[in-house]
Amino acid sequence: DAKTTQPTSMDCAEGRAANLPCNHSTISGNEYVYWYRQIHSQGPQYIIHGLKNNETNEMASLIITEDRKSSTLILPHATLRDTAVYYCIVTLGGVYNQGGKLIFGQGTELSVKP
Amino acid sequence: EAQVTQNPRYLITVTGKKLTVTCSQNMNHEYMSWYRQDPGLGLRQIYYSMNVEVTDKGDVPEGYKVSRKEKRNFPLILESPSPNQTSLYFCASSLLGWYQETQYFGPGTRLLVL
């Protein structure tokens, strides 16, 4: 599996956009970029994922560089409830027999401040 | 509401006293999995199940058992708990267990073994 590198921690002002970077320079062609977050020891929560194109949903936007070696998760208007650890995960596509395991790194601890 | 539930949420026990942590999902998912989370080590997969009666070891299966007799339930069994199994446990599920699928996590079970 490709590995990811994220900053250990970041701060963001409430109401501002939070931009969380992730480096995945060894990603291969069939690997997806997934983002999950974990709020204070709760179960991890899916945010968004993508393969090549930028993606947007009701929670966030995902910007993937053209060479796919890095990506940025954007929370457009961060609130205090977005304070959490954010995990960038790279996973294989369509590999049915490898257990569907998610490899969580250390993630980025995002603190949204009033 | 689509969800993964775990019981109990908190448990204090003593070394050697068998215990079971239940996990249930109401999304008709084929794939279910157990993780443990420890400070500095992140989330690590214990066991997973691709379907009823099909289970396999994850990265840290020692000291644990699982069973999958019904699609919706995937209990985690500690036959003889030891203090090094003190941890935060999460159950997860996804539709088929393919890597590109979203995984849904339960709320967690915090276990303390004395």
pLDDT digits (tens, 9 = 90+) for A7-44: 999 999 999 999 999 999 988 888 889 999 999 989 99
Chain B residue numbers with beta carbons less than 8 Å from the beta carbon of A98 are 99
* Minimum Cα–Cα distance from B88: chain A residue: A41
The rounded distance, in Å, linking the Cα atoms of A103 and B42 is 9
The mean pLDDT value of chain A amounts to 90
* Minimum Cα–Cα distance from A101: chain B residue: B45
CB contact at 8 A, B24 and B86: no
* Minimum Cα–Cα distance from A31: chain B residue: B100
Neighbouring CB atoms inside 10 A of B49's CB total 22
Cβ–Cβ below 8 Å for B103 and A49: no
Q: What is the pLDDT of residue A15?
A: 97
Which of B58, B101, B105 has its CB closest to that of A99?
B58
CA quadruple B9, B10, B16, B18: dihedral positive or negative? negative
- Taking residues B33-49, report their average pLDDT: 92
- For residue B63, the Cα-to-chain-centroid distance in whole angstroms is 13
By the CB < 8 Å criterion, does A46 face chain B? Answer: yes
Q: What is the DSSP string of A42-101?
A: SPPEEEEEESSS-EE-SS-EEEE-TTSSEEEEEETT--GGG-EEEEEEEEESS-TTSTT-
Shortest distance, CA B25 to any CA of chain A (angstroms): 14
Q: What is the pLDDT of residue A2?
A: 55
The rounded distance, in Å, linking the Cα atoms of A69 and A2 is 10
The rounded distance, in Å, linking the Cα atoms of A45 and B21 is 21
- Taking residues A33-58, report their average pLDDT: 94
- Identify the residue whose tokens are 């208007």: A77
Q: What is the pLDDT of residue A94?
A: 52
CB contact at 8 A, A34 and A49: yes
pLDDT at A51 over 80: yes
CB contact at 8 A, B23 and B91: yes
What whole-number percentage of chain A has pLDDT above 70? 90
Which of B45, B99, B107 has its CB closest to that of A43?
B107
Q: What is the pLDDT of residue A93?
A: 57
Q: What is the DSSP string of B61-113?
A: -TT-EE--SSSSB--EEESS--GGG-EEEEEEEESS--TTS--EE---EEEEE
Cβ–Cβ below 8 Å for B56 and A99: yes
Place A97 in a pLDDT band, splitting at 50, 70 and 90: very low
pLDDT at A87 over 50: yes
Q: What is the pLDDT of residue B25?
A: 98
Place A1 in a pLDDT band, splitting at 50, 70 and 90: low
Q: What is the pLDDT of residue A95?
A: 47
Chain B residue numbers with beta carbons less than 8 Å from the beta carbon of A40 are none
Q: What is the pLDDT of residue B102?
A: 85
